[in-house]
Structure 1
Amino acid sequence: MRTFVFLFVSVLLLNSCKNKKEETPKEEPKIEYASFGKEIIDDDAIASTSMLSHFKEMNVGDSINSKMIAKVNDVCQAKGCWMTLDLGNGEEAMVKFKDYGFFVPKDIAGKQVIVNGKAFVIEVPVDELRHYAEDAGKSIEEIAAITEPKKTFSFEADGVLIAQ
């Protein structure tokens, strides 16, 4: 009986080895991007969570040149003249476009983007915060509730790539 079990198991193992297909490494699909502003490439961008660490080390008025990859949280619904990006941990960066030279589509919330430009920290006054809330389509009550200036992680993008 032991011999029969041994032969049976051996045959099963040999068959499973024969039927196992050779696995070839799969290439990651190339992400296609729509480009806005200055032409940039999609390499060397740091993750938004890493950018959050840099922002937290900065003081109001500090700035650094950077390229970041992040998910879009919100976009100006008036004309696409700004967007907010998710930095993780409930934090976000306000992105405006260099010299007001280009805009992004208004329907890109949730999409992945790569932004190139200058990251900096500012204190945004109440009237400007209310203006952004209005552009984002917030209610009158939400806008009125803005009563304090806010230290803001900001980004002036000279080029943007939007994943398609």
Structure 2
Amino acid sequence: MKKIIIASFVLLGAFSCKKEQIEPKAETKVTYASFGDKIVADNALTKEQVLEKYNSLKEGDTINLKFATKINEICQNKGCWMTLDLGNDQKSFVKFKDYAFFVPMNAQNRDAVVEGKAFIEETSVAELKHYAEDEGKSQASIDSIKEPKKELKFLAHGVLIAK
């Protein structure tokens, strides 16, 4: 009798254990707001791939490409420029072709896809100070800008920003 009771408990325990079935998560489709020319997110390079491409450029070179990354900063006056994260404490300064469109000023830290021309250019002190003002930096921070700076730049003709 003891054996039957023990066997019953063992069987009851085995069948009462709920086995959790893990289902693969459905891939979530990112929806984007589009600015400028219509582009698609497909086949965009990663920030690491783009940084490699920038590292192969010298001043005066340009390369057409499309890449996806996060937005760091946006002009707080109009949304007329933004900086994009390239990793390794590098960023790309993005303007929009022909000043034809702007992006939302509250899109920091969102994913973005940009398509256009990458290049390296020296930015003057006056322009650096202007961008610092647009970004809302302190006067002390603006006054500390004393030298021009070589920057990784990008002229976008189309931008997608994750909603």
- Aligned pairs (5 A) from 1:15-94: 15=15, 19-20=18-19, 22-94=21-93
Give the number of aligned pairs: 160
Please report how far the alpha carbon of residue 25 of structure 1 lies from its aligned counterpart in structure 2 after TM superposition.
2.7
TM-score by length of 2: 0.88
Q: 1:159 and 1:139 mapped to 2: Cα distance?
A: 31
Question: 39-48 or 49-58, which moves further after superposition?
Answer: 49-58
> Aligned partners of 1:127, 1:80: CA distance in 2, in Å?
19
Shift of 1:19: 4.7
Mapping of 1:1-164 within 5 angstroms?
A: 15=15, 19-20=18-19, 22-164=21-163
The amino acid that maps onto 1:116 is E
The runs of 5 or more residues in structure 2 that have no matched partner are: 1-6
Unmatched 5+ stretches in structure 1: 1-6
Task: Please report how far the alpha carbon of residue 150 of structure 1 lies from its aligned counterpart in structure 2 after TM superposition.
Answer: 0.7
Distance 2:12 2:162 in 1: 47
Shift of 1:14: 6.4
Give the root-mean-square deviation of aligned CA atoms.
Answer: 2.2
Moved more, 52-61 or 23-32: 23-32
SS class of match (2:145): coil
Aligned equivalents of 1:61, 1:12: Cα separation in 2: 76
Q: Which digits, 9 at most, give the CA deviation of each residue in 1:9-66, with x for residues without a partner?
A: x9599648x9535544322110110000001111111111221111112111111101
The Cα of 1:99 is off from its aligned counterpart by: 0.4
- Structure 1: distance between partners of 2:138 and 2:25: 48
2:157 is paired with a residue whose SS is strand
Which digits, 9 at most, give the CA deviation of each residue in 1:44-91, with x for residues without a partner? Answer: 111112211111121111111010111111000110000001111111
SS in 2 for 1:46: coil
20-29 or 42-51: which moved more?
Answer: 20-29
Query: Identity over the aligned pairs, expressed in percent?
Result: 49
- CA–CA distance in 1 between the matches of 2:137 and 2:18? 60
> Deviations for 1:93-142, whole angstroms, at most 9, x for unmatched residues?
00000000000000011111000111111111111111111111111111
What code does the residue aligned with 1:123 have?
E
